[in-house]
Amino acid sequence: MHNNRKNVGVVIPAYNEEACIGSTIRALKDIPYIHEILVVDDGSSDNTAEIAKQEGARLLKLGKNYGKGYAVMWGIQSVSCPIILLLDADLGESAGEAVKLIRPIHEGRADVTIARFAGNLPGKGFGLVKGLARLGVRMLTGKDFKAVLSGQRGFRREVVEPEFFRYKGFGIEFGMTVDLLKRGVKICEVDVQMTHSATGMDWPGMVHRARQFRDIMMVLLRKVWGRVAARGGYEHS
């Protein structure tokens, strides 16, 4: 059923995204379902916050760079709409594709939507991090999802749990996906024509991937250990 209600709140964690944040917000303002756009400035040293305010977004400015997980936590807790969109700041004009994440929720076909980017982004690297995330989800839930690490997601507020907020840094998408699947929440991957800045093959890019791998591995190990302990697989000598 078509739904014209403006009942969607958008949360955008942002760190030094002055080059893209303006066009991202403008594209989102063209989506009729969106009631509120909240930019969580995670300690940026550039003009991200000023541009976000100029474009009409609500701003939540953190005192320092706490990391993506912390920014997402504060953002989700700061919007009250029944549907929440979590989006990256560097989508630019392609942020308009986020409408595709809203429709399956409005129509009752999904509780959560995850954007699956069409084609391959340039500079996507070795796929080690993505492979680890997919393997972890399959091992812990028996489900196979391609876009486990996608930061572009839609949620019905009822499925958001406080446990999501314990994940740090880049482990939040992986941990959140596992938790939702284990609870039987209906998740739908949606093909989109979004684009954003790909992580390069230079030293900063390699450091970024290493941090992603570390954060995901920490969540995976904690969940595997928790499952073993719950099954009584650990015996004290």
CATH number of the structural domain spanning residue 78: 3.90.550.10
In a domain, 2, yes or no: no
Residues 6+ apart with CB under 8 A from 202: none
- Bin 61: left if φ > 0, else alpha if -120 < ψ < 50, else beta: beta
Give the residues across from 11 on adjacent strands. 38, 86
Measure the CA–CA gap between 134 and 140, rounded to whole angstroms: 10
Does residue 65 lie in a domain region?
yes
Residue 56, domain extent? 8-123+145-198
Q: Is residue 215, in this structure, part of any structural domain at all?
A: no
- In the chain, what's the furthest Cα-to-Cα distance? 63
Render the burial of 137-147: b for 16+ CB within 10 Å, e for the rest. beebbeeebeb
Kindly state whether residue 132 falls inside one of the protein's structural domains.
no
User: Contact, 211 vs 129, CB < 8 A?
Assistant: no
User: Is 133 within a domain?
Assistant: no
Contact 53, 59 (CB under 8 A): yes
> How confident is the model over 144-190, as pLDDT tens digits?
999 999 999 999 999 988 777 788 778 889 999 999 999 999 999 99
For the chain, the domain total comes to 1
Res 166: pLDDT: 80
Inside any domain, residue 234 = no
- Residue tagged 């400015």 (tokens): 61
Q: Is the residue at 138 inside a domain?
A: no
Distance CA 67, CA 167 (A): 11
Confidence (pTM): 0.86
Q: pLDDT at position 198, please?
A: 64
Hey, how many other C-beta atoms are within 10 angstroms of the C-beta on 51? 22
In order along its 237 residues, the chain shows pLDDT tens digits of 445 589 999 999 999 999 999 999 999 999 999 999 999 999 999 999 999 999 999 999 999 999 888 899 999 999 999 999 999 999 999 999 999 999 999 999 999 999 999 764 444 444 889 999 999 999 999 999 999 999 999 999 999 887 777 887 788 899 999 999 999 999 999 999 999 876 666 777 788 789 889 999 999 999 988 777 777 654 443
Nearest to 40 by CA among 20, 19, 66: 66
In angstroms, the CA 184 to CA 174 distance is: 16
Question: Rounded to 10 degrees, what is the CA torsion of 216, 24, 111, 193?
Answer: -90
- State the DSSP H helix or E strand holding residue 187, giving kind and residue range, or none if neither: strand 187-192
**Separation between Cα atoms, residue 199 and residue 16, nearest integer Å:** 15
Assess if residue 226 is contained within a domain.
no
